[in-house]
Chains A and B, each alone.
Chain A
């Protein structure tokens, strides 16, 4: 069948305008430095430079948050314009004369050419979640500067590069998954290790995300009520869309968001009424609740819970982030934390994240700077929706810059609250004792410059946000919520709305995380079924219910086990598990970049290999060092096995209490937990190293042979045109206008 693109007959189209702007014309336009352009880019560079100077060099009493925005946005613009342009020109060489999978395999559903601006929002909503909101909060322990530098430099050289490359290579392979590409490029052993590593990493990611929710909701009737209400709201939306008014997504989303806001307000009434006790749970009970929820949610049909929750989550995600950006720019809060804190130079780290700045800053902030998980998204839905090859830069590189900006705003929120409160909230109960008096004493004993926290301040803070306590609310979400409440109440509502905004923030983080838990469990189950199906073919049949149930139970059991372990950990779960989360996410990035390295070498682009090597080497060094610390460090707070041995020896010596573990049972729990954590560290490291070695071997072979035949799909000529980015060059506008005049409007741009 002849493919007809935008209206008209095939003959007309064949004669029609070209599907791409000539590369040389486009290139010369991009290189034409008109006075206006020079002025604009000089201004961007100046503003960015000023921002960096204010953040890094000027030491006043406080620094204003607006400088973070200037430094970040200017750096992103420069990196996008110059570095991603360089990658496009030297490494990827997109060819708009080739049809994308969306064009040549269009089916009107998952393969469908989509307007680049819509796809940008879509892709951003799929990659961004609670990760970039939580990591920077924990890393604020080291002061604002190390985190800011890593988030911005990391995204420019590593995170955005990974997303861009994976998106491009997957697009050239019909939207192939990362695991599929790993099998192609690295052979059976490397490919199998990549699949196994991905599965193990997903389990720890889900577990830690769930732990963040549980930590935020423990002993908080307001939070529990409003988050629990998302379930009936989503069910209502699901039935509405299925039976009442199919497909009215916009309408039902508005209803859903309105109900959600009502649920937050109602949570306040609940927390002050007699029903509060009914919604107050300790964290262990909540953790079991989340596990049971996970099993049910992953087995229920998609239309009931997952799909409507997804609509809500997307709505809230983009809405809240825009709101937050506006609020930071308008309110311009002052930053309370120092540029570099007392803990940045301490080899033992601090109470929030143990261990030295290198490598632990770089694994604590994963999402926002470099997130391996994105490789799964960039090789999933998005490549099947691209209109043109050149748009991968805007979507892949540009999309990740936006996530980085979210991380910067989360950091701003965290460092704009009082430092004493910050440490009281984020130090584990094992250190703060869990009460306001002991927490104030603990924080003051840290010897931090300018920090003097009183029990009254801590109690007053809790009261202002409608919580019973803020002490040891670890996990990042409550701190972020407090920071956001501070900023947003400066914009709307003042102190009266402080508690509303706090629970608004808790609610949207919980919403993102529960969506990620549900979807992640399904993906993990799918991968497990696929893997087991190689031995027991029946498991590959995704409509065979017993297979689905068994797979779901295994996956929920795996992440649920880690979650329960984290919640009941006598030493505090977040500070022991979060490094593992970061390491896992970064190892996935290392795997994705290793696959990209093998692909680039196969293409024979030797001169551009360094673009992949820089982030790959960096992330490998970071994660391997961090893993080695976790495995071999003799400092008990840092090394899992050191802690394991210390507690085992103490038990053997007949001691009944040690540190935060005050009973022999608690001590046994520490021995058990550190064993599991230490074993997982070793497992991740070994699997990732197998993949990286396989990739290096494949790369060397390609280099020796001067490139090898690629696994790309055969080129199909493209019959549609759309500009590559947000701002079009004159030649792009001209060609777009020609297509409009001669062929008619392309899909979805007639407005």
Chain B
């Protein structure tokens, strides 16, 4: 059940910030990661600059 919830969060993209943090630490960066609010803003800004289609 917990696996299913985790899967679901992954599919809709609810865990994007957690994964970003994980990735940030994994890559061994020494600078501070983006804050949560800042991250989500950056995420939609990126979508703004580079739109992705949805299929019919």
Which one, A303, A313, A318, contacts B11 given CB within 8 A? Answer: A318
A-B CB pair tally, cutoff 8 Å: 152
Interface of chain A residues 35 through 57 with chain B (CB within 8 A)? none
Please pick, from B27, B49, B55, the residue contacting A542 in the complex, using a CB distance under 8 A: B49
Q: Bound state CA distance, A107 and B16, in angstroms?
A: 12
Q: Which residues of B contact A125 (CB under 8 A)?
A: 11
Please report the C-alpha to C-alpha distance between residue A249 and residue B15 in the assembled complex, in whole angstroms: 8
Q: Which of A77-85, A376-384, A558-566, A630-638 forms part of the interface with chain B?
A: A376-384
A177 to B48, CA, bound (A): 17
Return A207 CB to nearest CB of chain B, in Å. 11
User: In the complex, which of the residues B11, B22, B26, B28 contacts A122, with contact meaning CB atoms closer than 8 Å?
Assistant: B11
| Contact residues in B for A543 (Cβ distance below 8 Å) | 49
A302: chain B residues at CB < 8 Å are 44-45, 47-48
Q: How many residues of B contact A (CB 8 A)?
A: 44
Closest to A581 in B: B56
The interface residues of chain B lying within 8 Å CB-to-CB of A106 are 23, 27
Decide: A516 and B3 in contact? CB cutoff 8 A.
no
Q: Is the CB of A112 within 8 A of B44?
A: no
Residues of A within 8 A of B23 (CB): 106-108, 112, 747
Q: Which residues of B contact A121 (CB under 8 A)?
A: 7-8, 10-11
Contacts of B45 on A, CB cut-off 8 Å?
A: 302
Contact, CB under 8 Å: B46 / A241: no
A247 touches B51 (CB 8 A): no
Min CB–CB distance B51 → chain A (angstroms): 4
A118–B40 CB distance below 8 A: no
Given contacts A118-B11, A302-B44, contact A129 B26 (CB under 8 A): no
Q: Is A274 an interface residue (CB 8 A)?
A: no
Q: CB within 8 Å of A: which of B1-28?
A: 2-3, 6-17, 19-24, 26-28
* A377 engages B53 (CB within 8 Å): yes
Which residue of A has the minimal Cβ distance to B35? A246
A301 at the A/B interface (Cβ < 8 Å)? yes
The reply to whether A526 and B19 contact each other, CB–CB distance below 8 Å, is: no
In contact, A129 and B54 (Cβ under 8 angstroms): yes
B19 touches A373 (CB 8 A): no
Whether A311 and B53, one on each chain, are in contact in the complex, defined by CB atoms closer than 8 angstroms, is no
B48:A520 contact, CB within 8 angstroms: no
Check A131 for interface membership: any CB of B closer than 8 A.
Answer: yes
Is A306 part of the contact surface with B, judged by Cβ < 8 Å? yes
CB–CB B53/A115 < 8 A: no
Q: Is the CB of A112 within 8 A of B2?
A: no
Smallest CB–CB gap between B55 and chain A, Å? Answer: 5
Q: A109-B43, A247-B40 are in contact. Are A131 and B55 (CB under 8 A)?
A: yes
Report the separation of the CA atoms of residues A392 and B17 in the bound assembly, to the nearest whole angstrom: 25
Taking the complex as formed, is A601 at the interface, i.e. its CB lies under 8 A from any CB of chain B?
no
| A residues less than 8 Å from B26 (CB atoms) | 4-7, 747
Q: With A126-B54, A515-B54, A519-B54 given, is the CB distance from A751 to B44 under 8 Å? A: no
> Which residues from chain B contact A122 at a C-beta distance below 8 Å?
10-11, 13
- Is B11 in contact with A130, judged by CB distance below 8 angstroms? no
Residues of B within 8 A of A374 (CB): 55
Quick check: is B37 within 8 A (CB to CB) of the other chain?
Answer: yes
Pick from B15, B39, B51: contact of A523, CB under 8 Å: B51
Q: Tell me whether A522 is interfacial, beta carbon within 8 Å.
A: yes
Docked CA distance A130–B56 (Å)? 5
CB pair B40–A209 under 8 Å, yes or no, is no
Measured between beta carbons, the chain A residues less than 8 angstroms from B37 are: 246-247
Nearest to A250 among chain B residues (CB) is B14
Interface size class of A (residues with CB under 8 A): 35 or more
Chain B residue contacts of A748, Cβ below 8 A? 6, 10, 15, 19, 22
Residue of A nearest to B47 (CB): A302
Cβ distance B4 to chain A, nearest Cβ, rounded Å:
10
Contact between A129 and B27, CB atoms less than 8 A apart? no
CB distance from B23 to the nearest CB of A (A): 4
Question: Which chain A residues border B50 with CB–CB below 8 Å?
Answer: 526
Decide yes or no whether A469 CB sits under 8 A from chain B: no
Counting chain A CB atoms within 10 Å of each CB, which of B3, B17, B22, B56 scores highest? B56
- Asked if A131 and B56 make an inter-chain contact with CB atoms under 8 angstroms apart, the answer reads yes
Q: Is A155 on the interface with B (CB-CB < 8 A)?
A: no
A110 CB-CB contact with B under 8 Å: yes
The smallest beta-carbon distance between A226 and chain B, in angstroms, is 21
Which A241-286 residues have C-beta < 8 A from chain B?
Answer: 241-242, 246-250, 253
Q: Is the CB of B40 within 8 A of A241?
A: yes
- Asked if B7 and A117 sit within 8 Å, CB to CB, the answer is yes
Which residue in A3, A248, A306, A377 is a CB contact (below 8 Å) of B55?
A377
Closest to A1 in B: B28
Which residue on A lies nearest to B15, using beta carbons? A748
B6 / chain A contacts, CB cutoff of 8 Å: 748, 751
Residue in chain A with minimal CB distance to B6: A751
Kindly state the separation between the CA atoms of A202 and B55 in the bound complex, as whole angstroms.
Answer: 10
A205 touches B (CB below 8 Å): yes
When the two chains form their complex, are residues B53 and A128 in contact, meaning their CB atoms are under 8 A apart? Answer: no
Give A490-529 as 1s and 0s: 1 = Cβ < 8 Å from B's Cβ atoms. Answer: 0000000000000000000000110110011011011000
CA distance in complex: A373, B28 (Å): 38
Complex CA–CA separation, A246 to B17 (angstroms): 10
Q: Would you call A86 an interface residue if the criterion is a C-beta within 8 Å of the partner chain's C-beta atoms?
A: no
Contact with B46, one of A110, A112, A209, A242 (Cβ below 8 angstroms): A110
Q: CB distance A367 to B7 under 8 Å?
A: no
* Residues of chain B within 8 A of A371, CB atoms compared: 55-56
Contact between chains at B55 and A127 (CB < 8 Å):
yes
What separation, in Å, do the CA atoms of A103 and B27 have in the docked complex? 10
- In the complex, the answer to whether A250 meets B12 with C-beta atoms within 8 Å is yes
Query: Do A114 and B46 contact each other (CB < 8 Å), given the known contacts A516-B54, A519-B54, A747-B22?
Result: no
Q: How many angstroms between the C-alpha atoms of A110 and B13 in the bound complex?
A: 12
B46 to chain A, nearest CB (A): 7
Q: Which residues of A contact B16 (CB under 8 A)?
A: 109, 247, 249
In the assembled complex, which residues on chain B have CB atoms less than 8 Å from the CB atom of A525? Answer: 51
Q: How far is the CB of B56 from chain A (nearest CB, A)?
A: 4
Q: Please, which residues of chain A bring their CB within 8 A of the CB of B27? A: 3-4, 106, 108
A620 within 8 A of B: no
6 cross-chain CB contacts under 8 A: A4-B26, A106-B27, A125-B11, A127-B55, A250-B12, A747-B19
Query: Assuming A131-B55, A249-B13, A748-B10, what are 6 further A-B pairs, CB within 8 angstroms?
Result: A106-B27, A109-B20, A115-B10, A247-B39, A311-B13, A374-B55
The 10 A-B residue pairs whose C-beta atoms are closest, nearest first, are: A118-B10, A121-B11, A131-B56, A522-B51, A108-B23, A249-B14, A250-B14, A108-B20, A303-B44, A523-B53
Identify the A interface with B (CB < 8 A).
1, 3-7, 106-110, 112, 114-115, 117-118, 121-122, 125-131, 202, 205, 209, 241-242, 246-250, 253, 301-303, 306-307, 310-311, 313-315, 318, 367, 371, 373-374, 376-377, 380-381, 512-513, 515-516, 519-520, 522-523, 525-526, 542-543, 585, 747-748, 751
